[in-house]
Structure 1
Amino acid sequence: MTSKLFSFSKKESRLYMSFMYVTFISLFIGGLMGLLQTFVRSGKYTLPFGIDYYTILTVHGVILGLVLTTFFIIGFQFSLLGKTVGISDKQIMVGWISFWVMLIGTVMASITILVGQASVLYTFYAPLRAHPAFYIGLALVIVGSWIAAFVNFRQLYVWKKAHKGEKSPLLAFMVTINMIMWVIASLGVAVSVLVLFIPWSLGYAETINVLLSRTLFWYFGHPLVYFWLLPAYMAWYAIIPKFVGGKIFSDSLARLAFILLLMFSIPVGFHHQLTEPGIDPTWKFIQVVLTFMVVIPSLMTAFSIFGSFEAAGRRKGFTSLFGWIKNLPWKDVRFLAPFIGMVAFIPGGAGGIINASHQMNALVHNTIWITGHFHLTAATTVILTFFGITYWLVPHLTSRRLTPKLNKLGLIQTWIWTIGMVIMSGSMHIQGLLGGPRRSSFSEYAGGEQVATWINYQIAQAVGGTILFVGIILMVYIFIQLSFFAPKGVEEYPIAEEEPDAEKTPKFLENWYLWIGITIALILFAYTIPMIDIMKHSPPGSPPFDWPIGK
């Protein structure tokens, strides 16, 4: 059964909403930069005022991939723990420290990008070099997120101390797993930034070990995807069933799936480096195998979620094989947006298998196929689920209501987003198979023989990007309405109950020492020898190389 749920104080709501404000400001800025990118790539538009293409590309990637996601996730997870295990005034105060440290870091990094001193893209690969303030800003964002993580750990610890022998609430368990993964994974990028990039950008180090920096980034970069995805899983497992009149299919299965995602999401970064020399192919193969292991918890998740949907339909009397599908709340945007995100994850996951497969990766690596995949998973599966959460979380925090009119606008926004993304992501996938490069502006290959083949797909991307930006404007409008203007009222914080006849959850699933220990062992196994090889045998470090190329 669901544990007692806590009510939010005004102090809590202000903290959680602060994260949401930054999220939706980031959505607008990052979305505008994405729209400009698609225009430039279409060959029909030139950026005004001498704005560099790679500046807007960097803003788009950093603001949406790092800032929007991290602020939304931390605010959402704070609310989950506040609702299920409670939060003290002291913890709220530390939560504010987390917010301000992250915000200061975000502003520092953003200013350096906007003034043209950090056009190094979302991955900030060496030997491209940014202004030191960019790297210091990123470090502050990570430190702020660690502060939030330790607040979360403290919240669950205090609750467990007061409820000895009881299993922790499912959502609190899930948040803890995600933040453990985040802290372990972000150690890689923190070391990279603090030890390699900052001294190099300040001039204290003349060179930088490029392969080591890239390896540390992808040690972090792949679990970053799961840091985005797991909050969506939390909603799918424990919140969406509430909207269909169902219950959590299996508490044990949900916990096991999250444990497996923790263990197999971190030691797999080499599958992003399959084409790079300097890494032994044996270790690449081992990490590819570990990458494919995440298919298991993903299939467990699909089984559990659709099991909840079907059980709810059967309980309401639908006996035909697929009759329960008709009963799903298709006109409730809180369900529809995440559901479309779930469906998008099917082709998204298939594309991920291709990306992680050595021979097939050779075909699509560094093509715009990868960008299309990224938009199908992060920008469709994750973002649509985040939008679905917004429709009930924001009015709950602001004591307002999701009115029928706003719900209808949300349905329109969801379909606009879906249509725009199908056009844009689909054309990216096709152009990628035809060899279209990623990260490049149209002007860089405007004279190539393949432009005539690519140009129609690039125009399609501009059309899709325009539709998506309309969806962004509508989503920001809905957010403003839910935050400040919607009628006062009460919006439920929807947490589903467990099936009453479900099997008792085994206690070993909450053995943190065991699961963290196995995760660390897998990381040491997958990275220790390759990292020693990289540090011993890498060529001499690369000198500073200021972006952009050729200028």
Structure 2
Amino acid sequence: MNNQLISRVNKQDARVAMAHMYVAFLALAIGGLMGLLQVFVRSGKYELPGNIGYYQVLTVHGVMLGLVLTTFFIMGFQYAAVSRTAGAFSAKQRTSAWIGFWLMTLGTAMAAVMILLNEATVLYTFYAPLQAHWIFYLGLTFVVVGSWLVGFAQVSRYVQWRKAHKGEPSPLLTFMAVVNSVMWFVATIGVASEVLLQLLPWSLGLIERVDVLITRTLFWYFGHALVYFWLLPAYMAWYAIVPKIIGGRIFSDSLARLSFMLFLLFSIPVGFHHQLTEPGISAFWKFLQVILTFMVIIPSLMTAFSMFAMFEMRGRELGGKGLFGWFRKLPWGDARFLVPFIGMVAFIPAGAGGIINASHQMNQVVHNTIWVTGHFHLTVATTVLLTFFGIAYWLIPHLTGRVLTPQMNTLAIVQAFTWAFGMTIMSGAMHWVGLLGAPRRSSFSTYGDAAQAMEWIPYQIAQAVGGTILFLGIILVLIIFANLAWFAPKGDEEFPVAEVAEQAEKTPMVLENWKIWMTVLVALILIAYTIPVMDIVNGGPLGSKGFKLW
């Protein structure tokens, strides 16, 4: 079936995608409330009621927003995108997705209960030697395995489409969803190994101790790719959906596919740049992975060039004159465009902060300070989430058979500016006080130096103000979600998919030669990790037996 003739997501597939959305936005509500409590506590003006601990709240916030919201939204969006562009899933593929969804939901519930019972206050990174209840680790395993099943359905549909259309490039959105799913499969091998081979047996009492450095290395093998697992669905919308919304065309199909393949290659073998201050890892291997980390700047700049080239081409088609006249012609009153655009703008300072974090010398200044938290909120909590919200404003009504009304469109614009304003205050304060040395993951009561803590109070209050404004933004987006899911007028909202510009070069099929790309990916991973992991297992290049906890 020609993907251009598929105008809607199959109704049965729409139910699968919406099930993911319900869990995602429930996680947003819970995680957002926990975030509000966090900034209140850090201000020094508020204490949590009862026996609720600060780190318990912090764990709920991180797990619900960093793991649950993102994973459910991404899997639901990608599932819908594949159905829209490659055609409806088969019964077996749909069953795989449903089983995956329920496994993920069960795993989320298990992990959430343990956190609420204060049996898993280990933050979203769940570093050893902090130990959680075994049910928490088993729940995380179910989430990962469930996501594999949903991703497998997408890959299976892609393979089916390729067999039926030999010699043709696959639909761009389907290709992008598959690249992100493959990256997820490969990256989660690390965290699955960490949990199944070390943390779960340890929590069950089957082994006495774990190797802390191995667990951290396995986590960050997964952890940095997790960032791009969040980001690539936003890029999917920027490349293939936003052009349609503004009436333009995709600048280059080839460039879009190449950028995704480069992200696949350079997002996984770079975990050591999160471990630059840790002993037991040779400086050479840290340096190598820092270089590989900087390679992702290339597809990021390719994306920025493609987006603004497309914006300018469309603006000039609409009559824009002069150097920036095209800019005024863009549809600033359309929330489907404006909300992701604000996310794009936020990625400029977010990307600059990422370069600082990954640079060995500059990282020494900001490492383990709340600067890192501010950077995290600019990337995933602004660039990614605002783009996800922009997607939701047309995807939810499309899946539910409703429409985005002018009133909801206006409210969505208000929500986006509310979010941007609150994040500017909160993240700005985090960055600034981070440069002054304020630690991350700390409440006011845990600061050791009282005089220094008093110096940081104005910044902590600013974080509370910004966090409160952000929570208002969460309330607004939940109101919009509820309206689009249950109360908006019945109708036919478009699932926008752009066509490629006529002057674009033909897409070379080498970009879909998975044998080549997977061979390069495996080679990079082996080069980046084989020797350093052997060093860690054998006691480290410095002979650091003292750092092992077997």
Check whether TM > 0.5: yes
Across the two proteins, how many residue pairs are aligned to each other?
544
Match of 1:18 in 2: 19
Pairing of 1:10-49 with structure 2 (within 5 A): 10-49=11-50
After TM superposition, the score normalised by the length of structure 2 is 0.97
Q: Which residue of 2 aligns with 1:466?
A: 468
Q: Which residue of 2 aligns with 1:242?
A: 244
SS across alignment from 1:106: helix
Equivalent position SS for 1:276: coil
Contact 1:2/1:497, CA 8 A, preserved across alignment: no
**Unpaired stretches in structure 1, ≥5 consecutive residues:** 545-551
Report the CA distance between 1:10 and its aligned residue.
Answer: 2.7
Q: Following the alignment from structure 1 to structure 2, what is the Cα–Cα distance between the partners of residues 89 and 239? A: 27
Match of 1:332 in 2: 334
| 2:455 is the alignment partner of 1:453 | yes
Alpha-carbon shift at residue 313 of structure 1 (Å): 1.3
Which aligned pairs between 1:124-139 and structure 2 lie closer than 5 A? Answer: 124-139=126-141
Question: Which of 263, 277, 298 is the aligned partner of 1:275?
Answer: 277
**Do the aligned residues in 1 keep the contact of 2:419 with 2:473 (CA within 8 Å)?**
yes
Deviation at 1:161, TM superposition (A): 1.1
Instruction: Name 1:60's counterpart in structure 2.
Output: 61
Once residues 357 and 505 of structure 2 are traced to their aligned partners in structure 1, the CA distance between those partners, rounded to angstroms, is: 38
Output aligned runs, 1:284-323, within 5 Å.
284-323=286-325
Identify which of 408, 411, 418 aligns with 1:409. Answer: 411
CA displacement at 1:543 relative to structure 2: 6.5
Q: Please report how far the alpha carbon of residue 175 of structure 1 lies from its aligned counterpart in structure 2 after TM superposition.
A: 0.7
- 1:114-151 deviations in Å (ceiling 9; x for gaps): 10000000111100000000110001100001111111
Equivalent residue letter for 1:187: I
Larger deviation: 209-218 or 500-509? 500-509
Q: What is the CA–CA distance in structure 2 between the aligned matches of 1:148 and 1:15, rounded to whole Å?
A: 10
**Cα-to-partner distance string for 1:407-459 (whole Å, 9 max, x where unaligned):** 01101110110000000000000010000000011101175221222000000
* Letter of the 1:45 counterpart: Y
Task: State the Cα deviation string for residues 154-173 of structure 1 (Å, max 9, x = none).
Answer: 00011111111111011111
CA distance in 1, matches of 2:321, 2:254: 27
* Counterpart mapping for 1:93-172 below 5 A: 93-172=95-174
Deviations 1:5-34 (A, max 9, x none): 253333221111000000100000000000
CA deviations 1:160-203 (Å, max 9, x no partner) are 11111111011111111111111000000000000010010000
The residue that corresponds to 2:78 in the other structure is: 77
One-letter identity of the residue aligned with 1:147: L
Map of 1:516 onto structure 2: 518
Q: Name 2:441's counterpart in structure 1.
A: 439
Partner of 2:421: 419
Identity across aligned pairs (percent)? 63
1:277 to partner: Cα distance: 0.4
The equivalent of 1:549 in structure 2 is none
Letter in 2 for 1:425: S
1:23 touches 1:68 (CA, 8 Å); kept in 2?
yes
Do the aligned residues in 1 keep the contact of 2:539 with 2:548 (CA within 8 Å)? Answer: no
Deviation at 1:243, TM superposition (A): 1.7
3-state SS in 2 of match to 1:494: coil
Per-residue displacement from partner, 1:250-304 (whole Å, max 9, x unpaired)?
0000001011111011000000000000000000000000000000000000000
- Structure 1 contact 207–541 (Cα < 8 Å) conserved: no
Q: CA deviation at 1:237?
A: 0.3
Give the match's secondary structure for 2:5: coil
CA–CA distance in structure 2, aligned partners of residues 468 and 362 of structure 1: 30
Q: 2:500 aligns with which of 498, 501, 504?
A: 498
Please state how far the C-alpha of 1:541 moved relative to its aligned partner.
7.3
Matched, 1:186 2:184: no
AA at the equivalent of 1:36? L
Partners in 1 of 2:319 and 2:343 — Cα distance? 27
CA distance in 1, matches of 2:297, 2:450: 39
SS in 2 for 1:436: coil
Report the Cα distance in structure 2 between the residues aligned to 1:84 and 1:9, rounded to whole angstroms: 11
Whether the aligned pair in 1 keeps the contact of 2:212 and 2:549 (CA below 8 Å) is no
Q: Given residue 3 of structure 1, which amino acid in structure 2 is its aligned partner? A: Q
> How far apart, CA to CA, are the structure 2 residues paired with 1:31 and 1:265?
28
Q: Distance in 2 between matches of 1:199 and 1:293?
A: 37
Please point out which of 366, 372, 387 is paired with 2:368.
366
- Indicate conservation of the 8 Å contact 1:206/1:543, yes or no: no
Is 2:8–2:495's contact at 8 Å kept on the other side of the alignment? Answer: no
User: In the alignment, which residue of structure 1 is the partner of 2:258?
Assistant: 256
For residues 284-329 of structure 1, the C-alpha deviation after alignment (integer angstroms, 9 at most, x for no partner) is 0000000000000000000001111111112222231111100111
Question: Is contact 1:423–1:461 with CA below 8 Å preserved after alignment?
Answer: yes
Q: 1-side partners of 2:42 and 2:549: how far apart?
A: 31
SS in 2 for 1:3: helix
| RMSD (CA atoms) | 1.2
CA contact (8 A) 1:207 1:542 kept: no
* C-alpha spacing 1:70/1:200, structure 2 compared with 1 (3 Å): same
Tell me, what secondary structure is at the counterpart of 2:248? coil
Cα distance in 1 between the residues matched to 2:245 and 2:83: 21
